[in-house]
Amino acid sequence: ILLMKNKNASVVCVDITTYSAGKDLFKMTGGFRTDGGYGSAKEIEKGRTLFDVGAFYEYIISEIPLQMVSFIKKCNAILEDYEYYVFHEENKSFLSGIKKCINVDEMKILTSFKNYDNTSGSSIPLSIIDRDYNRSDEEIRFLSCSYGEGLSMGFADFFINRHNIFPVVKTDNFFEDGSLIYDL
């Protein structure tokens, strides 16, 4: 997402945090990660990072609605103030679990998982641009939530003018050497 500073723009409210109460869902011994698969956090082996996937989703799905309510209050808003809700989607079951926990119109929850699968950090922008908007000058208010390993979670309350939301650009171009350069 590219943002442009504008003195007249609406405020962007952001909260990023880590929830250490679920720290036992991840275990790491030996100081490195191997290519072995995931296992139960109860079955610690030296030198492996193990992850209790079921407990992680249960924790995240129960924690997001609680933290969302707190975040919305910090932004002086209520759930109904948002036109769309967009969540990071790691898999299909996550979003269905969240839908059960929050009481919003399902048509207001943006998703791009069926078109792009798990796109990691770009799932929220892809879900926003994967919707057909009219090109009016009206602003749309979004509430977004992302989560990740280490039990990190982030929320954002922001507005985007409809005419500034552009479609996905598809290309056959690729990096031949398989690497990206992050120099500016």
Q: What per-residue confidence (pLDDT) applies to 157?
A: 96
Task: Give yes or no for residue 95 having a pLDDT over 80.
Answer: no
pTM of the model: 0.76
Q: Reply yes or no on whether the pLDDT at 31 is more than 60.
A: no
Residue 96 has pLDDT above 90, yes or no: no
pLDDT of residue 15: 93
Q: How big is the CA angle at 174 (ends 173 and 179), to the nearest 5 degrees?
A: 155
CA atoms within 13 A on the CB side of 165: 23
Mean pLDDT of the chain: 77
138-159 pLDDT, tens digit per residue, is 889 999 998 876 678 899 999 9
Would the pLDDT of 105 be above 80?
yes
Task: Of 49-53, 118-122, 168-172, give the range with the top mean pLDDT.
Answer: 168-172
Tokens of 150: 């280490």
Element (H, E) at 100: helix 92-101
**Which residues, 6+ apart, have CB-to-CB distance to 18 below 8 Å?**
150, 151, 152, 153
